[in-house]
Amino acid sequence: MIKFENITKCFADNVILDNVSGEFFDGKINMIIGRSGTGKSVLFKCILGLINVDSGKIFFDDNEMVYSEDVKNNEFKEGIGMLPQNPTLFPEKTVAENVQFPLDILTNFRDDEKKKLVSDSLTQVGLRGREDQYPHDLSGGLQKKVSLARAIVHKPKYLFCDEPDSGLDPTSSKEIDLLIHKISKEYNMTTVIVTHNLDSVIGIGEHILFLYESKKLWEGNVKDIYSVNVPEFDDFLSSSKLFQKYKRSIINKLEKF
């Protein structure tokens, strides 16, 4: 479980996170949602230690994280998989070499062990047989799959995804969502996703945290999102044409969870 208490972060005089607390549950797909500019990505990066908080505490499995260069070590990183908003693949490396990169820097595995893990990871995302291709040979959706394979190759306990469907067409977006769901459940990962895509929230989300103007306004189970008595959250939901069009069927689906 990941818990964070009273997280505050400012840039100059601009308050980005204002006393935000919450928790992400083991084995669940946890989502940080809200409109653009509400602090989603900053909270995400604070939890990962990519940005230092001004005040507040962050816990991984009841262990308080005090982020510094001394603790940003391999032991912590080995437990984390990261799917960035952009694939950030090495253009000069093959697909297999890109996926193997975390193993090269985080582990002392033998070459045959690394090769087996890379093969398993690529199979998980449906890219078996593309090991020798290069990023420029692949579409944006396939590059995103390579990035996902790289994020899970060391079988981390936690998977962090930053806007995983960014830049993808609706079909590719849904495919990535389903892959994240499948992998999270098969590996029993604690998954944290930043998104403003309500289709993803309804499709694979389980535990939801809603940010609005630097504050947490609601947190709870996805099945309860339509009964939330928070006007700002209602406005956010109404921004999804799909949600409005299929409101009744979506509510019925969520009530069956």
Note whether 149 and 202 are same-domain residues. Answer: no
Note whether 136 and 255 are same-domain residues. Answer: no
The set of residues, in sequence order, having a beta carbon less than 8 Å from that of 94 and lying 6+ positions away, is 131, 132, 133, 134
End-to-end distance of the chain based on CA atoms, in angstroms?
21
- The pTM of the full predicted model, rounded to 2 decimals, is 0.89
Note whether 169 and 243 are same-domain residues. Answer: yes
**pLDDT tens track for 6-65:** 999 999 989 999 999 999 999 999 999 998 889 999 999 999 988 999 999 999 988 888
Q: In the prediction, which pLDDT does 74 show?
A: 45
Domain membership flag for residue 193: yes
Domain boundaries, position 118:
88-155
What is d(CA 66, CA 56) in angstroms, rounded to the nearest whole number? 10
Note whether 95 and 69 are same-domain residues. Answer: no
Tokens representing residue 32 in the block: 């940080």
pLDDT tens series, the chain, 257 aa: 899 999 999 999 899 999 999 999 999 999 999 988 899 999 999 999 889 999 999 999 888 887 655 444 445 666 899 999 988 899 999 999 999 999 998 889 999 999 999 999 999 999 999 999 999 999 999 999 999 999 999 999 999 999 998 888 889 999 999 999 999 999 999 999 999 888 888 889 999 999 999 999 999 998 888 788 899 988 888 766 556 665 555 556 556 55
Asked whether 253 and 205 are in contact (CB, 8 A), the reply is no
Note whether 119 and 221 are same-domain residues. Answer: no
Helix (H, G, I), strand (E, B) or coil at 218: strand
Domain membership flag for residue 108: yes
Note whether 167 and 243 are same-domain residues. Answer: yes
Q: In the prediction, which pLDDT does 249 show?
A: 59
Q: In the prediction, which pLDDT does 129 show?
A: 93
Note whether 137 and 200 are same-domain residues. Answer: no
| Domains of the chain: total | 2
The set of residues, in sequence order, having a beta carbon less than 8 Å from that of 169 and lying 6+ positions away, is 141
Length of the chain in residues, anyone? 257
Tokens representing residue 64 in the block: 């308080």
